[in-house]
Amino acid sequence: MKPTMLKFRVVFWTVLAGIALMVPLPAFSQSCALCYTQAASAGARMIEALRSGILILVIPPTCLTAFAFFVLHHKSRQFKQTDGVYDADRW
């Protein structure tokens, strides 16, 4: 593949991803009617419990993902020499 064609594809997909990220969030945040009516008619204790439940469901996967990236980053640096060349490249 020609380098100019590769650059064009990278730019195209980058622009497409940027446009997808700029789409307004309300278009993606349409919830089901039952959940909305139950939350709207609930009291203060129920709303607080709902917020706590959301945090409980979001925080552990986020922490595990961050930990996985941390481990992968440190493992990749473990095999790198000081001059920036990997051990596997030196045969």
pLDDT of residue 34: 72
pLDDT of residue 14: 93
**Mean pLDDT value across residues 3-22:** 85
Domains of the chain, residue spans:
37-79
pLDDT of residue 26: 62
DSSP string over 21-39 = HHS-GGGT-PPPHHHHHHH
pTM of the shown model: 0.45
In angstroms, the CA 79 to CA 88 distance is: 9
**Mean pLDDT value across residues 51-71:** 90
CA distances 55 to 21, 45, 48, Å, are: 24, 15, 11
Token reading at 22 = 């700029």
Residue 15 has pLDDT above 90, yes or no: yes
**Mean pLDDT value across residues 45-64:** 88
